[in-house]
Every structure is written in C-alpha cells, then in structure tokens.
A and B are shown apart, each in its own frame.
Chain A
Amino acid sequence: MLKKLLLLWQGIRHLSGDDAYERYLLHHHVQHSQENIPVLSKAEFFKRWQDQQWQGIKRCC
C-alpha cells in the first residue's frame, strides 16, 4: 500500500515536472559524465526547461 502511494507520488512529481531537475542530473550523469559539460544550477535548468515546455501547441479545446 505504502509502496503504491509512493509510486503515485513519484508519478505526480514526474507529471508536474517537480522532479525534472533530478531527472536532468541523472541524465547528465549517465550520458555526459565523460564529456566536460558543466552541470546547470537548479534555477538555470528550470528556466530552460520551462521555456522549452512551452513550444508548440500545448493546449486544446
């Protein structure tokens, strides 16, 4: 039960983008750890993420 609730909470965080920075860090760690790309700060990452989220048609009738 507790596990399911935790899963639901993770889903909500993922859907809303609350954990976007954590996912970015993970992605950065896995994909780019060998290269010398600097890690963005949370505030800087969030700006880019938010602006990128709003390209194209997002909402419908």
Chain B
Amino acid sequence: MNAIKTSLIWLLISLVGASAIGGIALHRGESINALWFITAALCVYAIAYRFYARWLSTRVFVLDETRATPAERLDNGSDFTPTHRWIVFGHHFAAIAGPGPLIGPTLAAQFGYLPGTLWIIFGAVLGGCVQDMAILFLSTRRNGKSLGQMARDELGLLGGSAALIATFAIMIILISVLGLVVVNAMKHSPWGTFTVAATIPIALLVGVYMRYLRPGHVLEASALGVGLLLCAVAAGGFVDSHPTLHKWFDQDGLTLAWCIMGYGFAAAIMPVWMLLAPRDYLSTYMKIGTISLLAIAIVLLQPDIKMPALTPFIEGNGPIFGGKLFPFVFITIACGAISGFHALISSGTTPKLISNERYIPLIGYGSMLLESFVAIMAMIAATVLEPGVFFAINSSAGVVGSDALAATAKITAWGYPVTALQMQSLAQQMGEATLFARTGGAPSLAVGMASIFGSAFGQGMLAMWYHFAIMFEAIFILTTLDAGTRVGRFMLQDMLGNLWPKMAETSWLPSVILSSAVVVAGWGYFLYIGVIDPNGGVNILWPLFGIANQMLAAIALAIATGILVKSKQLKFSWVTAVPLLWLVIITTTTAWQKLVSPDVRIGFLAAAEQLSLQLNQHLLSPEKASVAPQLIINLNVDAVITFIFTSLMWLIVLDMLHTCYRYLTDQPTSPLSETPHEVSLLNAEWVRD
C-alpha cells in the first residue's frame, strides 16, 4: 500500500514538473509568473535527487556504508573530524555558493529567460551535481586528497601540472572580473561606495572582537557585525545627501579599481583573523539571510517575468556580450549549472568531515542543487525588470552611446520600450545619479531584488533595499576577492618554492610581499583594462572566466571518467563522460570563435585588428585613441590565454583517453590510489541523525 502511495506521489511530482517546464518553454504571452520557474526547478531537483543521485550512489560509485571514512580513520579533532551530515552540508554549501550564480544568469538573461533557465536546471542535475558528487566521492576514498594530487596520481605529471596551472589561472581571471563587477556597482555612487567601504572597518572590528575582546564568541561578534552593516546601509543615505561627504565618495572607475587592488594586497598579507575570517562570517550570514529573504519574497509576491522567453539576441548581436546562444549561454552561466571550481572544494575540507559514505549524495549532489536554485532566483530577479530597463542598465556606453536620449531610443528600437524619463525616475527611486551603462550584472540584480523586496515588504524604502542588495553582493564578492588573492599567493609561493625553497615559507615576509604583489598585479592588470575599456570589459572578461571555469570542470570530469574506467565501471562511465564531452564541445567552440571570428564583438584578434586600423587612420576620438594601444595588447593577451586554456584541456582529455585505452588493452597503467577498505566502527546516534 505504501509503495503505491509513494509511486503516486512521485508520479504527481513528475507531472507537475513536466507541465511547469512545458509551461515556461512554450509560453509566448505578455508575461509569465515566477512561480512556474520555482515549481519546475523544485520538481526536477526532487526527481533527480531521489532517482539519479540514488542510482549513482548504488550502481556507479557503489557507496559503502560499512567503509570507514577518512574523518573516522584519521580523526584528529581538528581538520579530520566525523561531523554531522547537515553541518557538513552547511559548510560545503557556504563554500561553493559565491557571487557566480548571481551574475551569470543576470548576464545570460539577454537571450531571454528560457535558455538560461533550462541550462541552469538540467546542467546542474546532469552535470554540475554529478561532478561535485564524483569528486567528493573520489577524494573521500583517497584520504581527502586535493584535485591536483588526484590528477597527478591518476593521470600523471602532465595532468597534475595542468590542474595546478588551471586553478591559478582561473583564480586570477575570476578575481579580476569580480573586481570589475564591484567597481561598476560603486562607480559614481557615493551611497554604494560608502556602504562597501564601511564593510572593511566593520570586519576589522568584528575580527578584534572575536579574537581579543571576547575570544571565541563567534555568533555574538557576527550579530554585532551584521547590525553595523545594516546601519552602514542606512548611513549611506546620509552620506549621499551631505555635500562634502558626497564628493569624497563619488569616485570614477579607475580610482575605485586602484583602491580595490590596494585592498586586495593588504588583505593578502594581513593575518587572516583581522580581515578575512570576520569578513567571511559576515558575508556568509548576509548571503544566507538575503537569499532566504528573496525566496520568501518571490513566493509571497509571485512576481511576473517581463522578459520574453527568447530575444532576437540569440543570433549573436546582444548588447551585454557578443556571441550566439550556442555556445555562449553555456559559457556565461557556469556557476549554477556546472562549475569546475567546486571540484576544489569537494576535494578540500569537505571529504575530511564526512562521517559515512552514505551522506555523499546529500552533500555533493544536494548542495549543488541548492546552488542551482540560487541561480534560478537570480534569473527571476533579473527578468522581473522591464526588458527595456534591463538592457538600459546592462548595455555599455560603447554599445548604446553615452547620451540618455540616444541610448533609450536605440533600446526602444530593438523592441524593448524604455524612456530616459523612466530611467531617471528609477535612478532617483534607487538613490543613484544614473542607472545607464551600469554593466556587470550587480546593479540590475539589485534593482530587481529591490523591486521584489519593495513590493513584498514595503515600497517606501526602495533606495534602502537597492543599496542593501549592492552591499550584499559586494561583501561576498570582496570575500572571494581577498580569499582568492590569498590562495593565489599560497599557490605561487608553493610553485616558486620549487625554484628556491625559501620562497615556500609562508611566513617569510619578502616572499609574502613579492608573491602577493605578483598575484594582485595579475588580476589588477585585467581589472585595469576592464575599467578603461569603453565596451565595459565584462564583454571580454566574463567569457574568459567561463572558459577557465569550464576547463577546470573538464579536468575534474576527466579524472572522474578515467577512474571510473579503471574501476571496471566502463559501462557507467558515461555519467561523467557525457558532461565532459559537452564541456569540451562548448569550450572548444567558444575558444574557436573567440580566436577566429571576424565579428569584432566576439573575436579577440578581429577586434585588435580593427582597433589598430582605426588608430592608424585616426578614426578614433582622442579619448579612445589614448587607450587603444593598451586595448590592442590586451586583446592579443586574451587570445593567447584562450588558446592556452583550450590546449591544456585537450591535453588532459587526451591523456585520460590514452590511460583508458592502455587499461582496456591490458597494458600497464598507474594503479588506482584508493585507500583499502576498513570497517567503520562509528554508529553513535549523533552521527546517524
């Protein structure tokens, strides 16, 4: 009887999910309710988790409940500790969910709501979740080894070095693009700049509080910090209206970019307890609080999506970034669908905490489902805006012109009506001087969130909600920025240590300063170019980030596929091989177009050529001519980087195929590095429930 009831419930979930997916896919009216998106996503997640993740656990990875995990065998009370599954879930989710799933979907909304939404839902359940779960499983079976170590063990020195280079490269590109997003959100916005700047002293105060004033009182200190952050948002309104203070915090992009570089450098060399740790606490609470609030507001308010399902920009002439729907939607939305970066977390702290292998689906697969859901909410927040407003905020001056009337006329001509007056009154409501050409995704997401929060919890405080949303995005972008710079510094010190062992000493000041400066110079360069680029920079940097992230995912999936084949699971190896193949296709296609496309909005080399031609024929305005030589060099640098990324990915995939071929033809290969089975003795109640 119970079995029939369960089957009926799952049948019902399938039917509801299928009709919701059908609804959003086939709907061609004026607007569609956001609840359809939530329903579609939740039903697909439920089915995928109940059936696919369970099948993966029992048939493909063959999880073994009787096997002792590294947390049990190597329990030392600190990094290896058997921990309750929901606590591990919380840590893992907090680590994987960064600003990526908020920005990618916002940018990809230029194609309409449909392509991004479908990719977020299905990319996650078939690709991203499988990758996270596979790497978590493999690392748990290998004493919590990192992705780089596993690559070296299973694929050899080449795979290991490629994984190391890829990780370092992705870090540099990621930080620069995130820096650019923050700069664009703060540019000429005294309110936003003040609020973001205030997060630094607040974090310092919280750091001192939990280290010295009341040692170990983490929650108390965090509550104090969150309270102060909210005060800072309110105080920003005062700063904005104060004539002198207004001038202090009203800065142009370049000044802000230099400030961010200085901040990143300082954060990388300061002790973690001062800035990094307290900021991380604050950003985690803000993130979880705001995302939950957004979910509640969407369910309460049930807003209508105003963006059409598809826009004409799928043909490749979109204002936010150039390129056709295929492959660019898959590159633009990396986090939220599949993100290689997660493989670093799944092979980091998490496998050292899992008390039993049976929790791997919950933590590996489940956390990624939740991140995918965050991306769906970002998509909703971006598409509840009038499309005309959305494009006016996100189109750079290089595309629509810097004059308000001309810009709105151009966007209206695309078929998305918007007026200069409408934009001005919106900016006024949000407490901003202008909302034109605020590229990067953060401001339009903030406008979307502010309008959702405003309608659900009180319209009167739109400006407050807007700056709250900006602060919320900026605080964890800056957390990723300083944590990333620090990790980059450690990686560089490690690499330099091979040449001169003294450099690897993480507390030797000259090495610390030198390696921090090199890392900051690396991302600072791309950030600088992004700021001076009249086309907004996001157009170039975000696809580069997408390629880097997908390349890392390809490395992770290649490792997993190779191990599956060597573990006599050839017939099931498609679970990682198919997502791998898809990533190889989209990454290679993107890279190819980025290198050879004659369209100057896509091809790096074509753009460089056109720019140098215009420069030689004196066709550029003096302003543009002064930055053109730097832009030309940068376009060539980008082309080289794209080529290196793609070649690295191919090297690893071919290396994996070679290893598999040798294994299948009974030639010697490196043995599996799995630790031997030891019986788990843990069955205490607290671990189980």
Contacts and interface: CB of A to CB of B under 8 A. Distances in A.
Interface string B274-303: 001100110000000000000000000000
Contacts of A24: 77
Nearest to A28: B77
A55 B483 CA distance: 10
A49 B272 CA distance: 12
Given A51-B273, A56-B348, A59-B280, A46 B483 contact: no
A17 B94 CA distance: 14
17 contacts: A12-B219, A14-B87, A16-B222, A17-B218, A18-B216, A20-B216, A20-B218, A27-B77, A31-B77, A46-B215, A49-B78, A53-B277, A57-B345, A60-B98, A61-B178, A61-B480, A61-B549
A52 B78 contact: yes
Contacts of B479: 59
Given A58-B95, A61-B341, A43 B219 contact: no
B216 A56 contact: no
B99 interface: yes
B511 to A, nearest CB: 17
Interface string B469-487: 0000000000110011001
A11 B86 contact: yes
Nearest to B347: A57
Given A20-B216, A24-B77, A11 B349 contact: no
Interface in A1-38: 11-18, 20-21, 24, 27-28, 31
Contact of A21 (B87, B216, B345): B216
A49 B98 CA distance: 24
B366 interface: no
B387 interface: no
Specify the main secondary structure of chain B where it touches its partner: helix
Contacts of B345: 57, 60
Contacts of A20: 216, 218
A58 B216 contact: no
Given A58-B483, A61-B174, A47 B348 contact: no
Interface residues of B, number: 49
A59 B218 contact: no
Given A15-B87, A51-B272, A54-B272, A59 B95 contact: yes
A54 B487 CA distance: 10
B342 interface: yes
A58 B90 contact: no
A15 B273 contact: no
B341 A18 contact: no
A43 B216 contact: yes
B375 to A, nearest CB: 12
A-side interface size class:
20 to 34
A57 B480 CA distance: 10
Contacts of B94: 15
Interface of A: 11-18, 20-21, 24, 27-28, 31, 42-43, 45-47, 49-61
Given A57-B344, A59-B483, A59-B484, A50 B272 contact: yes
Contacts of B215: 42-43, 46-47
Contacts of B131: none
A57 B484 CA distance: 8
Contacts of A16: 218-219, 222, 281
Given A14-B87, A27-B77, A58 B218 contact: no
Interface in B524-581: 545, 549
A61 B335 contact: yes
B87 A11 contact: yes
A33 to B, nearest CB: 13
B95 A54 contact: no
Contact of B480 (A45, A54, A59): A59
A22 B622 CA distance: 66
Nearest to A15: B90
B211 A47 contact: yes
Contacts of A51: 272-273
B277 A54 contact: yes
B77 A60 contact: no
Interface string B167-202: 000000010001000000000000000000000000
B181 to A, nearest CB: 11
A25 to B, nearest CB: 11
B217 interface: yes
Contact of B100 (A21, A56, A61): A61
Given A15-B87, A47-B211, 15 more contacts: A12-B219, A14-B84, A15-B91, A17-B218, A18-B219, A42-B215, A42-B216, A43-B216, A46-B215, A50-B277, A52-B79, A54-B276, A55-B79, A57-B344, A60-B345
